[in-house]
């Protein structure tokens, strides 16, 4: 399933990338290209404005960077892209934590993944590093009883 990525929404979720960096888009595209090489996925990544002197669409193999037209946002461009996909939008996954982008994706029947979750997947795929989503551990009732038997319960009973 190919991805549509809200680029400026994903950048701050990846350690080492910053929207303040003038090369943030290039660095994200490099990471995404490596991700595609390892996974065989295809990606359309959307940004707000094309750098001066560059075209609005730049092809990097499995990654295509798309820059919104002047006066429009990447959010608008993502929604328009999904509309152009028509019924095929359900074959795509949209990566964004922006509520409006996610609502538009769901309206088009595309799958949605939050940027934070995708950032963990990206880092795990590239470096084998992820930050656990939570410290919760699911134990069965028997396992809880076994631990209580070994260490006692909250009231200090063993």
In a domain, 36, yes or no: yes
Provide, for the chain, the percentages of residues in helix, strand and coil under a 3-state DSSP scheme, each rounded to the nearest 5: 45, 15, 40
Please determine, for residue 131, whether its predicted confidence score (pLDDT) is greater than 50.
no
Strands (E), 57-113: 57-60, 63-67, 93-95, 111-113
Confidence label for 13 from pLDDT (cuts 50, 70 and 90)? very high
Report the share of the chain in percent with pLDDT over 70: 78
Edge-to-edge strands, sheet with 63-67: 57-60, 63-67, 43-47, 3-6, 93-95, 111-113
In a domain, 15, yes or no: yes
Please determine, for residue 143, whether its predicted confidence score (pLDDT) is greater than 80.
no
- The CATH number covering residue 122 comes to 3.40.50
Say what the pTM is: 0.77
In a domain, 54, yes or no: yes
Tens-place pLDDT, residues 41-82: 999 999 998 666 666 899 999 999 999 988 889 999 999 999
In a domain, 158, yes or no: no
In a domain, 58, yes or no: yes
Tens-place pLDDT, residues 19-34: 999 999 999 999 999 9
Domain span holding position 93: 3-151
In a domain, 137, yes or no: yes
In a domain, 55, yes or no: yes
Into how many domains does the chain fold?
Answer: 1
In a domain, 156, yes or no: no
Q: Are strands 63-67 and 57-60 parallel, antiparallel or unpaired?
A: antiparallel
- Average pLDDT score over residue span 109-128: 96
Please determine, for residue 145, whether its predicted confidence score (pLDDT) is greater than 80.
no
């Amino acid at each position: 399933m190919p991805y549509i990525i809200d680029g400026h929404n994903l950048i701050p979720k990846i350690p080492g990338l910053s929207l303040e960096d003038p090369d943030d888009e290039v660095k994200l595209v490099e990471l995404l290209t490596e991700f595609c090489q390892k996974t065989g996925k295809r990606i359309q990544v959307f940004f707000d404005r094309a750098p001066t002197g560059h075209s609005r669409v730049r092809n990097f193999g499995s990654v295509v960077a798309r820059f919104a037209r002047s006066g429009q946002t990447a959010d608008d461009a993502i929604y328009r892209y999904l509309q152009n996909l028509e019924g095929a939008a359900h074959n795509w996954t949209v990566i964004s934590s922006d509520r409006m982008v996610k609502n538009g994706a769901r309206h088009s029947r595309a799958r949605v993944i939050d940027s934070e979750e995708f950032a963990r997947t990206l880092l795990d795929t590239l470096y084998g590093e992820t930050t656990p989503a939570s410290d919760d551990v699911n134990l069965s009732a028997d396992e809880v009883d076994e631990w209580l038997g070994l260490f006692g319960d909250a009231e200090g009973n063993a």
